[in-house]
Amino acid sequence: MIDNSDKERVRDATDFAALVSETVVLKPRGNDLWGCCPFHQEKSPSFKITPSTGLWHCFGCGKGGDIFDYVCERENLDFPDAIRFLADRAGIELKEERSAGHTNGPKRSRLIECLTAAQEFYNTQLMRVRGDAFQAARSYFAGRGFGSAVCKKWMLGYAPGRGALVQQLQRQGFSKAEMQAANLAVERNGRLQDVFYDRVMFPIHDELGRCIGFGGRVMSDAKPKYLNTRETPVFHKGKHMFAFDYAKQAITSTGIAIVCEGYTDVIAMHEAGFSNAVAALGTSFSIDHVKTLSRFAKTIICMFDGDVAGQKAAERAVQFVDKTESDIRCVVLPNNQDPAEFLEDHGDEALQTQLDASRQLIDFVFDKRLAQYDLTVPGQRVRALDDLASVLAPLKNSLLLDDYAARLSDALGMDRTQTMQRIKQAKPLGDSAYATTVSKDAAPTAAAGHITSTYQQENLEYSFVPDDYVPYDDSSAIQDVPSANNTHSALDNSVLSVDDRRQIDIEQELLSYMAENIDKVRPFDMQIGTFTWADSRHEAIAWAMLATPVHTAATQVVAAAQTAVPEAGQILSAGRMSRVWKGSESSKLTFLLNQVELFSTKRRIREIRSKLRGAEINEETEKLFREATQLQQHVNELNKTLSSLLSPDNNG
């Protein structure tokens, strides 16, 4: 385990801006540095780093965090390895390290030999060793219809752990460096130990059938459920696919590739005669996968789950349709079944019928999205247009766009030129940073670039509207938001009201401000103490930052927040007021505090109204009614204050 002091030494020794500048051209804008995101394709910069806090965020794809999150994303590393990666760059020896000196690493051929030996060891453990754990592993595979012949063919295995693999590989002459470089062993407390333990093992091969890595499924309630080999000199999960070595010949002969989501699904498909099936490895279906399959297949059929995640996966895959000559199609099995379940219940002929009925990816996405709207209502047709425009946005420079825009305009009964223009202005689906704060009913005005407001009876809505904002629907922007009353660990997006969404967003803006300016916020701790937070994580982050000593550096304020809430880096990095605020600097904090208090007060009013609805009149309900009346008066006062802050005199 890496010591926390080592982690902070590595952070302090790394020039974050220089690290990012290796792959991104950064330009200063205020206190931040901006550039095009390295993690998705874009033409205008939406990626920023804030040197004072050591945080980064992309308003296009929504990713963000601290320097370690950045390295995890860029290098495809897990968190400890990201720290090791930066430690090596900075020449820092971590306390967990017991050997000095670095080499260029073992030869690739030796790594593959080491991984092949591990594959044979795991398979032997599964097939021959007695004991409860080994029997449980055999029962796991048997329960999925994988008998001994299947386990031998696919070289499935079991990893017992407790250093058993390390000892075996040492006996075979493999060095510590070779085992570590292959991600088969790790040094813990000065001892070399197995990376995988108490897991059933799925070996992953390259095109030539050589073992290059593993996927291991846990045999207990431990997390993560699946653990994949990390990036190594021979294994890149964003490029390789499970079972591609088995499937390549069938893909070539049939001209069809079937892409599934899981190891067991692929094996079940092959054993049922669908030997052209593969799976991505712990990552989304990528352009590298598309390019590889396109070398052999004229048709790529993606078998997505039938749930919301499956639909989103289909929508993400739309961006690849013009990057290949292959026809990308999709199948969603009924009743949300995966391929293995469907085969067990219905057989191979029924699955072949499903494959024969596969649809072009774009048709599936169009129908699924449009089915959410009543197209007889003009306003809903406009919403549908904006919705599909964001799906098609990655294709705005594609030769296919004319055809797709024509099909969309025909489906909606709209002008083709206007439809095309809307698509070209839209932001891709991942660009969710703005939608949660902007009223979907409020279009940009001539004053765009300033904070704007619209008054609706008892509700004054404040929206951050940047100069390049284009409205679009983003009903999925807020996910897994913890419940304020902790009755559930997370709230489904569909139950969040407009006020809930905006409160969550403004809370995040306040927290981002606090991370950079904590000493300016300390005098208002009493006001913050009265807030009823929409996201319980936000409350924990706020008090963790306020608990730091006066004059604490911003990086240490962020570190304190991360100690309280591990994902604090992602939350704190998402603030964008520094980009869009046009008012005076002195009024910014007042605006944020009053805005959070406004939504917090309205939340309390809603709680009281809920209690009063249908309740008998008594002393308690009369007390609640008086409280609600006083709170509503306070809401009106806050509205006036906020209106004043947003006046031209204050907006500069």
What pairing do the DSSP bridges indicate for beta strands 32-35 and 27-29?
antiparallel
Query: What confidence score (pLDDT) does residue 453 get?
Result: 29
Asked whether 629 and 601 are in contact (CB, 8 A), the reply is: no
| Chain centroid offset of residue 287 CA | 18
DSSP string, 210-275: -EEEEEEEESSS-S-SEEE----SS--TTT-EETHHHHHHHHHHHSEEEEES-HHHHHHHHHTT-T
* Architecture of the domain whose range is 241-366: 3-Layer(aba) Sandwich (3.40)
Nearest CA to 181 among 109, 241, 119, 121? Answer: 109
Q: Which two tokens stand for residue 81?
A: 């390895």
The vertex-589 CA angle with 588 and 591, nearest 5°, equals 65
CB neighbour class for 579 (10 Å; exposed up to 12, middle 13-18, buried from 19): middle
Output phi, psi for 484, to 5 deg. Answer: -65, -30
Query: What confidence score (pLDDT) does residue 647 get?
Result: 65
d(CA 93, CA 181): 18
**In 3-state terms, what secondary structure has residue 327?**
strand
Residue 35's H or E segment, with its range, is strand 32-35
Q: What is the pTM of this model?
A: 0.50
Query: What confidence score (pLDDT) does residue 401 get?
Result: 81
d(CA 360, CA 321): 10
Query: What confidence score (pLDDT) does residue 22 get?
Result: 77
Integer-rounded Cα Rg, in Å, for the chain is 28
Eight-state DSSP code of residue 61: T
DSSP string, 394-415: GGTTSTTHHHHHHHHHHHHT--
- The domain made up of 4-90 is a member of CATH 3.90.580.10: yes
Look-up of token digits 């390789």: 240
Residue 331's H or E segment, with its range, is strand 327-332
Nearest CA to 47 among 13, 79, 23? Answer: 23
Query: What confidence score (pLDDT) does residue 115 get?
Result: 97
d(CA 445, CA 455): 15
Class of domain 108-228 as given by CATH: alpha beta
Asked whether 590 and 570 are in contact (CB, 8 A), the reply is: no
Eight-state DSSP code of residue 523: G
Eight-state DSSP code of residue 495: G
Look-up of token digits 């825009």: 405
Helix (H) and strand (E) counts in the chain: 29, 19
d(CA 389, CA 395): 10
d(CA 585, CA 650): 10
Query: What confidence score (pLDDT) does residue 426 get?
Result: 83
Query: What confidence score (pLDDT) does residue 54 get?
Result: 92
Query: What confidence score (pLDDT) does residue 119 get?
Result: 97
Asked whether 142 and 224 are in contact (CB, 8 A), the reply is: no
Q: Which two tokens stand for residue 96?
A: 């967990």
Output phi, psi for 345, to 5 deg. Answer: -85, -35
Query: What confidence score (pLDDT) does residue 651 get?
Result: 52
Asked whether 156 and 123 are in contact (CB, 8 A), the reply is: yes
Asked whether 154 and 277 are in contact (CB, 8 A), the reply is: no
From the first residue on, what is the mean pLDDT of each consecutive set of 10 residues in the chain (652 residues)? 85 90 86 88 87 92 92 78 79 58 62 95 95 94 94 96 94 94 90 93 88 89 80 85 91 90 92 94 75 84 72 74 81 87 93 92 82 78 84 80 83 82 78 29 27 28 30 28 32 53 88 93 91 88 93 93 91 79 78 90 82 77 85 86 68 50
